[in-house]
């Protein structure tokens, strides 16, 4: 198991190279992007981020002061704009209440308690919380997404019915505890998923890890 998980990583890295995630300039932009990319293509998130920057809303202070309707209007291209505007507000309110609006203060807290509190915010689920922890705060947590589940269950490395936490544990237990490694691995999985492991291509015949398939 440990060998296979590391072998898949090496194959992906050799095929695709460094992905240089997260594609954002500041810690705050990572957090906003993590919320906006929920069930949404990154190209649409980029349009929304562009609008936020245009409207001078791409800072913690300005977005905290903004009205929901103005946020919703700016992030329209990312889809689900009404609910995402509320979710962003929920998270910003939480950061204000809990850390006095300081991301530096937030970054100094320990990973587990941060994760637990992020999950208590309405609109922040496990993948969004872990993406924020890993890509905004450089904490060593492994991010699991739909591609991870699809690809690694096809490889018979995780059970098809495994929960988020179960899948995450498999990666944490079989890789060195390293934020840069988790950063790169998740990014490579998304690259593989986008290019080859679409829902309608269940066999993934051209993909760089096809010879890892069992059965």
Partner DNA sequence: CACCAGGCAAGTA
Partner DNA sequence: TACTTGCATGGT
Among positions 131-160, residues that touch DNA (CB under 7 A) are 131, 135, 145-147
Rounded CA-CA distance 12/192 in Å is 8
Of 114, 124, 158, 207, the one binding DNA by CB under 7 A: 124
- Interaction between residue 98 and DNA (CB under 7 A): no
Please check whether residue 2 is in contact with residue 174, taking contact to mean a CB–CB distance below 8 angstroms.
yes
Q: Which two tokens stand for residue 117?
A: 């509190």
Q: Does 34 bind DNA (CB under 7 A)?
A: yes
Q: Which of 5, 8, 12, 21 binds DNA (CB under 7 A)?
A: 21
Distance of closest approach, residue 113 Cβ to DNA, in angstroms: 17
CA–CA separation, 207 and 211 (whole Å)? 9
Q: Which residues contact 110 (CB under 8 A, 6 or more apart)?
A: none
Asked if 20 interacts with DNA (CB under 7 A), we say no
- List the one residue from 26, 62, 67, 82 that touches DNA (CB under 7 A): 82
Alpha-carbon torsion (99, 102, 103, 106), positive or negative: negative
Choose the binding region for DNA from 4-12, 16-24, 63-71, 205-213 (rule: CB under 7 A).
16-24
Return the SS3 of 179. Answer: helix
Size of the site for DNA (CB under 7 A): 42
CB of 109 to DNA, least distance (A): 19
What gap in Å lies between CA 194 and CA 141, rounded to an integer?
A: 22
Q: Does 198 bind DNA (CB under 7 A)?
A: yes
Shorter beta-carbon distance to DNA: residue 193 or 208: 193
Of 5-13, 128-136, 152-160, 204-212, the segment contacting DNA by CB under 7 A is 128-136
> DSSP for 95-148?
HHHHHTT-HHHHHTS-HHHHHHHHHTSTT--HHHHHHIIIIIT--------HHH
List contacts with DNA (CB under 7 A): 21-23, 33-34, 37-44, 47, 76-77, 79-84, 121-129, 131, 135, 145-147, 190, 193-194, 198-200
């Amino acid at each position: 198991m440990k060998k296979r998980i590391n072998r898949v990583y090496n194959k992906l890295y050799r095929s695709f190279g460094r992905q240089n995630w997260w594609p954002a300039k500041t810690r705050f932009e990572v957090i906003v992007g993590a919320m906006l990319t929920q069930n949404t293509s990154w190209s649409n998130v980029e349009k929304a981020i562009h609008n936020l920057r245009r409207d001078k809303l791409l800072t913690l202070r300005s977005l905290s002061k903004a009205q929901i309707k103005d946020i919703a209007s700016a992030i329209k291209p990312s889809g689900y704009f009404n609910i995402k505007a509320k979710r962003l507000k929920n998270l910003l309110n939480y950061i204000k209440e809990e850390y006095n609006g300081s991301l530096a203060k937030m970054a100094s807290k320990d990973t587990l308690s941060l994760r637990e509190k992020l999950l208590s915010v309405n609109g922040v689920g496990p993948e969004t919380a872990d993406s924020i922890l890993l890509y905004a705060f450089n904490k060593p947590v492994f991010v699991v997404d739909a591609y991870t589940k699809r690809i690694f269950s096809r490889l018979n490395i995780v059970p098809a019915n495994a929960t988020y936490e179960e899948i995450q544990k498999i990666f944490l237990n079989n890789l060195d505890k390293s934020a840069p490694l988790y950063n790169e691995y998740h990014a490579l999985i998304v690259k593989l998923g986008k290019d080859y492991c679409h829902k309608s291509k269940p066999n993934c015949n051209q993909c760089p890890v096809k010879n890892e398939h069992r059965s």
